[in-house]
Chains A and B, each alone.
Chain A
Amino acid sequence: MMGPRNEMREHMLEAVPSLRAFAISLCGNVDRADDLVQEALLRAWANLDSFQAGTNMSAWLFTILRNLFRSEYRKRRREIEDVDGSYAESLTSLPEQNSRLEISEFRRALKLLPPEQRESLILVGASGFSYEEAAQICGCAVGTIKSRVNRARSRLAEILSIDSTNDFGPDRETRAVANSDIVRSDRS
């Protein structure tokens, strides 16, 4: 009897890093995210019987975590936003100042997305789930996930004013000055 349960525990342990990454990107706060992961693990363990052997354990755990977050989100909507607090503090190993700025700009933009779009984009774009798996996790149609991911990308591109010719690099003001006619006529 120890065998299968031990195996499940191993799978859960392996899933912890990506569950944390998902949870942190959902709620933006490391402490709350870790509580959420812990709750999801306990919930999963208590409901091991409902896990169908041979199916995707990781997707199952993500589903539990996501549902916990959704029910809590409704309860404690006001406490959730913590864009640059403990989340940003936990990220210390980024190589250069420049990319650190880019990243914090990107993270802020990500927080501006509606929750459904954000979670869809993260599941597909970062967690590596297929559209089908993401649809299963979010309890919606595959087409819904696809359109949410598309809208999320469009919105991010808009917020960060990315286009094909400009990189993430300079912020909008810098770019506006650099491109302005005044600067150009001064040069000519």
Chain B
Amino acid sequence: MNKDRPFRRARAADAQKSEENHVVRLGADIKAKIGMQLRLIYDEIVDQGVPDRFVEVLKRLDDPVEDPVEEGTK
């Protein structure tokens, strides 16, 4: 059961070294995992569609009754 100890120690040392140098070799699987998580939180928002607020904002754009648009946000 202890046979794999030196191997694990070597791996731990490697991990330590890579952390010190801020060099991490990334396989395609890791990139894929990160990409998946990233799209999950991104698409969660995208799937909410267009809130009413923005429909109103864009509708008002054609109706230049009030102050000029640029100043309107101040």
Contacts and interface: CB of A to CB of B under 8 A. Distances in A.
Interface in B26-62: 26-27, 29-31, 33-35, 37-51, 53-55, 57-58, 61-62
A164 B42 contact: no
Contacts of B33: 162, 167-168
B40 A103 contact: yes
A93 B44 CA distance: 8
Contact of A158 (B19, B40, B45, B73): B19
Contacts of A168: 33, 37
Q: Is the contact region of chain A dominated by helix, strand, or loop, or is it mixed? A: helix
A106 B44 CA distance: 14
Contact of B34 (A38, A46, A99, A157): A157
Given A13-B50, A13-B55, A162-B33, A188 B42 contact: no
B30 A21 contact: no
A42 B45 contact: no
B42 A38 contact: no
A39 B38 CA distance: 25
A98 B24 CA distance: 26
Contact of B70 (A18, A46, A102): A46
Interface in A2-56: 5-6, 9, 12-13, 16-18, 20-21, 24-25, 34, 37-39, 41-43, 45-46
A106 B69 contact: no
B65 interface: no
Contacts of A25: 41-42, 45
25 contacts: A5-B62, A12-B58, A13-B50, A16-B54, A17-B45, A17-B49, A20-B45, A20-B48, A20-B51, A34-B53, A38-B53, A41-B54, A41-B61, A43-B70, A46-B69, A103-B40, A103-B41, A107-B41, A110-B41, A126-B42, A126-B43, A127-B42, A154-B24, A162-B34, A188-B1
Interface of A: 5-6, 9, 12-13, 16-18, 20-21, 24-25, 34, 37-39, 41-43, 45-46, 90-91, 93-94, 99, 102-103, 106-107, 110, 121-122, 125-127, 150, 153-158, 162-164, 167-168, 181, 184-185, 188
Interface of B: 1-2, 5, 19, 22-24, 26-27, 29-31, 33-35, 37-51, 53-55, 57-58, 61-62, 68-70, 72-73
